Amino acid sequence: MKILVAPLDWGLGHATRCVPIVREFLRAGAEVELAVVTANAKFFREVFPNLRQRLAPSYNIVYPKHGYNMGLWLLKNSLHLNAVMKYEHHFAEEMVERHGYDVLFSDNRFAFYSKNAYSIYMTHQRRIAFPQAFSAFEGVGTVWHANVMRKFDEVWVPDLEFFPGYAGSLSHTGAAPSDKTMRFVGPLSRFSECMPVESLEPEVIDFEKIAEKTARYKVVAIVSGVEPARTQFEQQLRHALFEIPGRHLMILGKPSVERKRWKEKNIEFQTHMPTAEFADAVRRADFVVSRGGYSTVMDMAELGAKCIFVPTPGQFEQIVLAHDLSESGFAAYIPAEKLSARTLTKAFESCENFPCLAKQNLLQKAVREVIKKVKER
């Protein structure tokens, strides 16, 4: 059985949460290939060096300087999105015809489906949340997303079945094509099978390297997202962490560039880190500061981090997640415009370890059932 997995290219989160999807299909004996864009191709080469990659069309998302919430952005850029979706659907049909894929797996790619392949769509946003001032438009977004999902054979939701899970009202209410075609597959993290680096036995004892690997960070700051908000966040973090005593690490979230490491004052910078090293750094952090994207939420929950989320301005989905997680006591929340050394220090006082909720073997079951359905077609 041949499967093509295609994550949306709005930041790296969609790519990272596809890692356990790919692993599970490989375990089930499927042949998996990846539909990538330039921004996530290197990441996938590092995680799955032996998997073939196909170059997919990019949505080329660049948020305006001050941001828009996702729902309004979709309305404002509907013509652009429709053009990309039309080309994307043509690409999907061509891939199936030329390479004989049995299954197309889309992580939030709205038109990556084919009438000649079993098509799966994954999203945690059954509800596309709008700010209260624009709540009248939320129904439009819900209807639009429901129409997208109806084009697929199944819809997968990366969250726990019971409310609130990790995504709360975003995943447990809103649009669904039908109960028969929608299923929860559990939270997905690329770190679910990641061993701590310090648990590995070195061939030669190097006490300097051991000391470096076991030293703790006060703050690990994870920069992510699309421009220009990504760079704005990086600059805010620099100014704040320079003022906070302690050893800090900033991961710049640039997997497509050459890996580099350097130090400025009390901050160690890395352009990006391999999965095992990334997980190890988070485990050794007193606190983690990052955007509030849902893939990051699932990753931090898997690693049991003490998180402070700073949502991307205008991305109301992230604001809803951060607020709800803060209210539940799972994480601290700082609005982007209020991020400073003072607000970070205050957040440290109330931050608790992310609780790891009980896991269910939902993904394995979903994959096995899809393979059975496709073989019986």
Tens of pLDDT, residues 273-298:
988 899 999 999 999 999 988 999 99
Q: Tell me how far apart the alpha carbons of residues 84 and 67 are, in angstroms, rounded to a whole number.
A: 21
Instruction: Kindly report the CATH number assigned to the domain that includes residue 214.
Output: 3.40.50.2000
Q: Residue 279: which of 200, 168, 184 has the closest Cα?
A: 200
Q: Sorting pLDDT into bands at 50, 70 and 90, what band is 77?
A: confident
Residues in Cβ contact with 60 at an 8 Å cutoff, skipping those fewer than 6 apart = 84
Do both 235 and 346 map to the same domain?
A: yes
* Mean pLDDT computed over 26-54: 95
Residues 143, 264 within the same domain: no
> Mean pLDDT for the chain?
87
Q: Residue 120: CA atoms inside 13 Å, Cβ hemisphere, count?
A: 29
Amino acid 200: pLDDT: 41
How far apart are alpha carbons 354 and 306 in whole angstroms? 6
Residue 126 and residue 175 in contact, taking contact as beta carbons nearer than 8 Å:
yes
Is 168 found in the same domain as 304? Answer: no
Whether the Cβ atoms of residue 167 and residue 330 lie closer than 8 Å to each other: no
Q: What is the pLDDT of residues 216-243, one digit of tens each?
A: 999 999 998 777 888 999 999 999 999 9
Total domains present in the chain: 2
- Same domain membership, residue 370 and residue 256: no
Distances from the Cα of 113 to the Cαs of 124, 183, 190, 235, 377, in angstroms?
Answer: 18, 18, 24, 39, 17
The CA distance from 234 to 268, in Å, is: 13
57 plus 182 within the same structural domain: yes
Bond preceding residue 313 cis, omega within 30 of 0: no
Residues 128-171 have pLDDT tens digits of 777 666 667 777 778 888 889 999 999 999 998 888 888 888 88
Q: Decide if pLDDT at 211 tops 50.
A: no
Dist. CA 207–CA 232, nearest whole Å: 38
Q: At 292, phi and psi to the nearest 5?
A: -105, 30
- Joined together, the tokens standing for residue 241 give 């962490």
pTM: 0.84
Q: Which residues, including other chains, have CB under 8 Å from residue 166's CB and lie 6 or more apart?
A: 159, 160, 187, 294, 297, 298, 301, 325, 357
> 48 and 70: one domain?
yes
- What is the structure's pLDDT at 72? 62
Q: Is 177 found in the same domain as 90?
A: yes
Do 326 and 234 reside in the same domain of the chain?
yes
Which pLDDT score is estimated for 329? 85
Q: Does 242 fall in a domain?
A: yes
pLDDT at position 346, please?
A: 95
Residue-number span of the structural domain to which 270 is assigned: 197-350
Q: Do 114 and 252 sit in the same domain of this protein? A: no
Are 322 and 365 in the same domain? no
What pLDDT, on a 0 to 100 scale, did the predictor assign at position 96? 98
C-alpha to C-alpha distance for 99 and 93, rounded to whole angstroms: 10
pLDDT band at 246 (very low <50, low <70, confident <90, very high): very high
Q: Averaged over 30-37, what is the pLDDT?
A: 97
- One domain, residues 251 and 329: yes
- Asked if residue 192 is part of any domain, the answer here is no
Question: How is residue 128 annotated by DSSP?
Answer: -
So what's the pLDDT on residue 69? 55
Query: Residue 210: its pLDDT value, please?
Result: 44
**Domain-located, residue 39:** yes
- Whether the CB-CB separation of 324 and 168 falls below 8 Å is answered with yes
169 and 80 in a common domain: yes
